[in-house]
Amino acid sequence: MSREKTEKLGSLFLAVFSTGLAAQLATGGMEADQWLGAAAAVLGSISMAVAVRVWPQPQAVAANDRRRSGGS
């Protein structure tokens, strides 16, 4: 499995897990500050999952290109 696929699956798992955990705890009853913390955790994990998918991948520089330009 490639690193990119692993990152995407891991971020998806985190988003689903945090959403499910927040929902499970909400059924048991939470106070307002707990709701706020759960919402922040869910939004943070979803934001990370989106960032993993849209963030540009670094471009590898070929060794031949560096030699041609005179770099070491």
Is residue 65 one of the residues assigned to a domain?
Answer: no
Instruction: Note whether 45 and 15 are within 8 A (CB).
Output: yes
- Helices then strands, each counted (H, E), the chain: 3, 0
The tokens for 60 are 């590898």
Look at residue 64 and tell me if it is in a domain: no
Name the domain count of the chain.
1
Instruction: Evaluate whether residue 30 is within a structural domain.
Output: yes
CA distance 69 to 41: 47
pLDDT in tens, 3-57: 888 988 999 999 999 999 999 988 888 898 999 999 999 999 999 999 988 887 7
Residue 16 included in any domain: yes
- Report the distance separating Cα 37 and Cα 43, nearest Å: 10
pLDDT of residue 57: 75
For the chain, report the end-to-end CA distance as a whole number of angstroms. 33
48: in domain = yes
**Parent domain of 23:** 3-57
